[in-house]
Amino acid sequence: MNINRPRGTNDILPSESYKWQQVEAKVRDICYRYGYQEIRTPIFEHTELFERGIGETTDIVEKEMYTFVDRGDRSITLRPEGTAPVVRAFIENNLYAGQLPAKLYYMGPMFRYEKPQAGRYRQFTQFGVEAIGSMDPVLDVEMITLPIELYKACGLAGFEVHINSLGCPKCRSEYRNQLQAMLAAKADQFCESCQSRINRNPLRVLDCKSPKCRELLKDIPSIQDYLCPECREHFDQVTTSLDQLGINYVVDPHLVRGFDYYTKTVFGILVPTLGAQNAIGGGGRYDGLVEEIGGKSMPAVGFAVGMERLLLALAQENIAFNEPKAAGYVAHFGGKTKQAAVKLVHDLRQAGLWVEMDYLDRSLKAQMKSADKLQSQWVIMIGEDELAQNLVKIRWMNTGNEEQVALDQVAEYLASKREG
């Protein structure tokens, strides 16, 4: 019986991994320009971190976590997201003492036991950013512009930014109570999962995808109308600044997101043509989380981008990547010529070039084919007679031109060609 990868996981093969590397390089470049530094936290954490951080009545905590008891009888969970772990690390390593806001980013695997489908996996990769220690709406705006910059740098065009405010515990609880009462009045008409949410987490009903529930939600009042003066002012400053920067967005009062930690600004970035899993990024402010996890009261804001979905969106828009190409190939005929090839390949690699050779004792024809596949610019052929005179032949693959070069001058010759 073959052993296959677990459902909802992916192998990223060399035919794809170079694309990932190019997107990752853009991520690091943008984070550098925005002043975010990398943080790497463990892939697993104590389960309690997510129960407290994300919220016990969220889908993630109720049904999607990979939780197990380890050999020391501790409940451990593979991280379903990066925000709670980063906040835990911020508190544990006393990063309050450093410059505030702490500006951190991460990239790595997350795990959720979801029903796998295109764009939805059980192991997926997030690039996330967290800024801890400032209330300034300017930072909310930075969290929206940074991923947009990444999408644009990758060449993506067809995305939309949706924003909303979830208010603060004060104004949200008033809205929550009103909403709950209204939903309860027609509870039996909602889908099963909404019915169970009405009591436990009524805001989550707002983003149900079922057409019937959407219809029922049509005349539900908007959370935007319940914001207290402080939350209203904060949201207005965010939208004013987005306008000033020329960033298009839609205010979507049904955008609530799947975590209990959000306060004030939330946002989601979608590619409408991507199908059911069309969110390529999302985030928001979480002013209560640091305290909730045991730290000092401290505001914060962040976002995460789903890297698989971003790559799917780029493929859908036929965005081109730079395919890796070998600089050259050294062909040999076995025996002494192979020894000379090994030495030459070694020297050229030390000079910084990607140089390939044959490891299967194949014919010259087969070696030329490999060179072609690798899109080599040149092939050096080491023949026995020429080697006796310390010479090799080099063929330029685009023109078919051939030249003879002294074996010990190949590196200089190639360098002069690169400069020329």
284: β partners: 266, 302
Binding mask 76-115 for ligand HAM (x = CB under 6 A): -----xxx----------------------------x-x-
Q: Is 302 in the site for ligand HAM (CB under 6 A)?
A: yes
Concatenate the DSSP letters of all residues of 282-295 into one string. EEEE-TTHHHHTTS
Q: Is 281 in the site for ligand HAM (CB under 6 A)?
A: yes
What letter represents residue 235's amino acid?
Answer: F
Among 45, 142, 287, 308, binds ligand HAM (CB under 6 A): 308
How many angstroms separate the CA atoms of 106 and 38, rounded? 6
Output 31 or 368, the one with its CB closest to ligand HAM. Answer: 31
Least distance in angstroms from the C-beta of 363 to ligand HAM: 46
Least distance in angstroms from the C-beta of 139 to ligand HAM: 12
Ranges within 350-369 binding ligand HAM (CB under 6 A)? none
User: Could you tell me where the beta strands, DSSP code E, fall in 17-112?
Assistant: 37-38, 44-46, 66-69, 75-78, 102-111
Q: Is 282 in the site for ligand HAM (CB under 6 A)?
A: yes
How many angstroms separate the CA atoms of 301 and 138, rounded? 11
Least distance in angstroms from the C-beta of 147 to ligand HAM: 10
Output 103 or 112, the one with its CB closest to ligand HAM. Answer: 112
Least distance in angstroms from the C-beta of 381 to ligand HAM: 48
Q: Is 288 in the site for ligand HAM (CB under 6 A)?
A: no
**How many residues line the site for ligand HAM (CB under 6 A)?**
26
Report the b/e string of 236-262 with b at 16+ CB within 10 A: ebbbebbeeeeeebeebebbbbbbbbb
Q: How far is CA 134 from CA 22, 102, 129, 341, in A?
A: 32, 9, 14, 60
- For 369, the 3-state DSSP assignment is helix
Output 23 or 327, the one with its CB closest to ligand HAM. Answer: 23
Q: What angle do CA 266, 39, 304 make, to 5 degrees?
A: 25
Ranges within 116-155 binding ligand HAM (CB under 6 A)? 119-121, 124, 126, 128, 130
Ranges within 246-265 binding ligand HAM (CB under 6 A)? 258
What's the DSSP call for residue 359? S
Output 129 or 379, the one with its CB closest to ligand HAM. Answer: 129
Q: Using CB atoms, what's the residue nearest to ligand HAM?
A: 306
What's the DSSP call for residue 73? S
Least distance in angstroms from the C-beta of 309 to ligand HAM: 4
* Sheet architecture: strand order including 37-38: 37-38, 102-111, 123-132, 300-306, 279-285, 263-270, 160-165, 250-251
Q: How far is CA 284 from CA 55, 268, 375, 417, in A?
A: 16, 9, 45, 52
Q: Is 295 in the site for ligand HAM (CB under 6 A)?
A: no
Binding site for ligand HAM (CB under 6 A): 81-83, 112, 114, 119-121, 124, 126, 128, 130, 258, 279-284, 286, 302-304, 306, 308-309
